[in-house]
A and B are shown apart, each in its own frame.
Chain A
Amino acid sequence: MFDFNLSMPTNADPNTLYDLIIIGGGPAGLTAGLYAARYKLKTLMLEKAVISGGQLTATEWVENYPGFPEPILGQKLAKDMESQAKQFGLEIINESVIDVDLAGSIKKIVTDYSTWQAKSVLIATGSASRKLGVPGEKENAGRGVSYCATCDGPFYPDKIVAVIGGGNSAFEESIFLAKYASKVVIIHRSDDYRADKIIQDKVMANPKIELMPGYAVQSIEFANSDDKHLVLVEQGTGAEISFPADGVFIFIGHVPNTKLFEEKIELEAGYIVTDRRHFTNVEGVWAAGDVEAKSLRQVATAVGDGACAAFWINKYIEDWTEN
């Protein structure tokens, strides 16, 4: 009847020189932690939240992670990933990283409380969906407000969904959503769409997708399940209208969590540039998951990135010498 989601930090010692410090406890970090622990690398994970799992913990159901033909709760998947990694010896500390010194052979990671040291660092800080910042958005995240169509689209069979945005993501994801929803309406501030022409053409040709240019979202009113709607404002006139929708998907971009690494690691549009081994341009520093400059950001890809990075980190540690 009750769930007890226990997630307690381990007791780590700041005087330890770790083989590897993983920053961020989402699927990429947890998978790297699992692999690294099994390689017997002394590994510490720094996760700012009390609960590991990153964006996964805010996802109600995961339907596209292989091996789970029935949808699995994001929180359950996250908890299981964490338990599995801990079982093999991963240490997890709930501290927020405030500074990093990645230059030398020994890396220093500064949190609010301690300075941790390691021979190598894996950055798995992820990215966050850019928010609209309107009333009702945060309150209804995971309850009608979504930032991932491939994740949540199948929950809207024969429903009306609104898509916010005017770029490639908004258009591409609308095509995906139209497989399920009876009607998809793309709401955008202007009629000047950033999406590639070829995708725009595909959208125009889809009878289920409508464009609604010239409107901005003022609020998301999902509290009353019998009267779920958005309040939209017509640009120019300022007139308010009520737009009924069962769900709203927001695709106005992502924000990589890389502020700490600006000027320290090569970034591309804010994301960390890596090679095939997930190696960054800084010796001894890897990146995995959403934080990397790449094309697809899913649990499945994050897990692969984490495993691959751990493999190369293990090789690096074998040859590591202090200089």
Chain B
Amino acid sequence: MPILDDKTKTEVTKILGTMIKPVTLKLFTQPFECGYCKDTHELLEEIVELNPLLKLEVVQFDQDTDVVAEFGIDKIPAIAVIGDRDYGIRFYGIPAGYEFSSLLSAVLMVSTGVHKLTDQAKKFLDNLAKPVHLQVFVTPTCPYCPPAVIMAHQMAFYSDKVKADMVEVSEFPHIGNKYSVQGVPRTVVNEKWFMEGAAPEQMLIDKIKESL
């Protein structure tokens, strides 16, 4: 039983048709103690079949510890979206529901190099001296979440200093508790600063400034 129906596959094929450079989806998974690893694996297998520029690489979380450490993966399932290099774009948990759009947006951005950051944001990111870690907490049924995820991933794509994670909170409730996530989207900036909702670019920049 395929995870994507034919109608969705047709739509995805069309969307991926605009890819230019190859993209690798690096999936971190393990066969036990991971509720959504199998489904995420199946989903990615189905997606990469839809465009030859898209590849899947599977990393065993419990065995390939060097790779896990290299990519800084601490929970599974995890997807790193890799282009000609690793931009620090991560998805933790299955990118289903509305987050499916976020995954395809990340793939297209890495493949085409097109993002939507303003000159103002680029200037700010060019001058970043310290690393920035953005964790965007989401649920798959949250329509307001993808803009927050896409914004964070754009910053990671543009700046080597920024790493950005989508975290599907229902799969990692203990992490949700750790950061007191009671509503989504919630963006955690450098562990201790928080932003609620799909806020405009400038608001996220201000929050990052606060955290530095």
Known A8-B15, A112-B118; judge A50-B101 contact (CB<8 A): yes
Assess the A139–B118 pair: CB atoms within 8 A.
no
- B11 an interface residue at 8 Å Cβ cutoff? yes
Residues of B near A68 (CB, < 8 A) are none
CA–CA, A102 and B172, complex, Å: 48
Residues of A near B118 (CB, < 8 A) are 112-113
Q: For residue B41, give the distance in angstroms from its CB to the closest CB of chain A.
A: 13
Residues of A near B150 (CB, < 8 A) are 50
Looking at A35-43, A51-59, A288-296, the stretch in contact with chain B turns out to be A51-59
- B3 an interface residue at 8 Å Cβ cutoff? yes
Assess the B15–A50 pair: CB atoms within 8 A.
no
- A300 an interface residue at 8 Å Cβ cutoff? no
Please, which residue of chain B has its CB at the minimum distance from the CB of A135?
A: B182
Q: For residue B148, give the distance in angstroms from its CB to the closest CB of chain A.
A: 9
CA–CA, A113 and B201, complex, Å: 12
A: contact size bracket: 20 to 34
CA–CA, A112 and B119, complex, Å: 10
Known A49-B143, A138-B196; judge A7-B101 contact (CB<8 A): yes
Assess the B143–A6 pair: CB atoms within 8 A.
no
Residues of A near B18 (CB, < 8 A) are 11
Assess the A112–B146 pair: CB atoms within 8 A.
no
Please, which residue of chain B has its CB at the minimum distance from the CB of A51?
A: B143
CA–CA, A53 and B43, complex, Å: 26
> From residue 204 to 224 of chain A, which have CB atoms closer than 8 A to chain B?
223
CA–CA, A112 and B97, complex, Å: 27
Residues of B near A94 (CB, < 8 A) are 147
For A113, give its contact among B11, B104, B116, B143 (CB under 8 Å).
Answer: B116
- B144 an interface residue at 8 Å Cβ cutoff? yes
CA–CA, A223 and B101, complex, Å: 29
Assess the A50–B12 pair: CB atoms within 8 A.
no
Residues of A near B105 (CB, < 8 A) are 8, 50
- B198 an interface residue at 8 Å Cβ cutoff? yes
Please, which residue of chain A has its CB at the minimum distance from the CB of B198?
A: A49
- A115 an interface residue at 8 Å Cβ cutoff? no
Assess the A75–B141 pair: CB atoms within 8 A.
yes
Contact with B along A1-27 (1 / 0, CB 8 A): 111111110010000000000000000
For A6, give its contact among B15, B94, B140, B201 (CB under 8 Å).
Answer: B15
> From residue 223 to 277 of chain A, which have CB atoms closer than 8 A to chain B?
223
Contact with A along B161-184 (1 / 0, CB 8 A): 000000000000000000000110
For B8, give its contact among A4, A50, A58 (CB under 8 Å).
Answer: A4
For A5, give its contact among B15, B101, B116 (CB under 8 Å).
Answer: B101
Known A8-B101, A138-B196; judge A223-B182 contact (CB<8 A): yes
Assess the B12–A6 pair: CB atoms within 8 A.
yes
Residues of B near A6 (CB, < 8 A) are 8, 11-12, 15, 100-101, 104
Residues of A near B96 (CB, < 8 A) are 2-4
> From residue 116 to 149 of chain B, which have CB atoms closer than 8 A to chain A?
116, 118, 140-141, 143-144, 146-147
- B39 an interface residue at 8 Å Cβ cutoff? yes
> From residue 1 to 53 of chain B, which have CB atoms closer than 8 A to chain A?
3-4, 8, 11-12, 15, 18, 39, 43
For B147, give its contact among A5, A50, A58, A112 (CB under 8 Å).
Answer: A50
Assess the A138–B100 pair: CB atoms within 8 A.
no
Assess the B94–A2 pair: CB atoms within 8 A.
yes
CA–CA, A313 and B201, complex, Å: 34
- A182 an interface residue at 8 Å Cβ cutoff? no
CA–CA, A95 and B150, complex, Å: 13
Q: For residue A227, give the distance in angstroms from its CB to the closest CB of chain B.
A: 16
CA–CA, A138 and B4, complex, Å: 32
Which residues of A line the B interface, CB within 8 A? 1-8, 11, 49-51, 53, 57-58, 75, 94-96, 112-113, 138-139, 223
Which residues of B line the A interface, CB within 8 A? 3-4, 8, 11-12, 15, 18, 39, 43, 94, 96-98, 100-102, 104-105, 116, 118, 140-141, 143-144, 146-147, 150, 182-183, 196-198, 200-201
Would you list the 3 A-B pairs with minimal beta carbon distance, nearest first?
A: A139-B183, A57-B143, A50-B146
Besides the known contacts A2-B3, A49-B143, A113-B118, 8 further A-B residue pairs in the complex with CB atoms under 8 A apart:
A2-B43, A2-B97, A4-B96, A4-B100, A8-B15, A94-B147, A138-B183, A138-B196
15 A-B contacts (beta carbon < 8 Å) = A1-B39, A2-B43, A3-B96, A3-B97, A6-B11, A6-B12, A7-B101, A8-B15, A49-B143, A49-B147, A50-B98, A50-B102, A94-B147, A112-B116, A139-B182
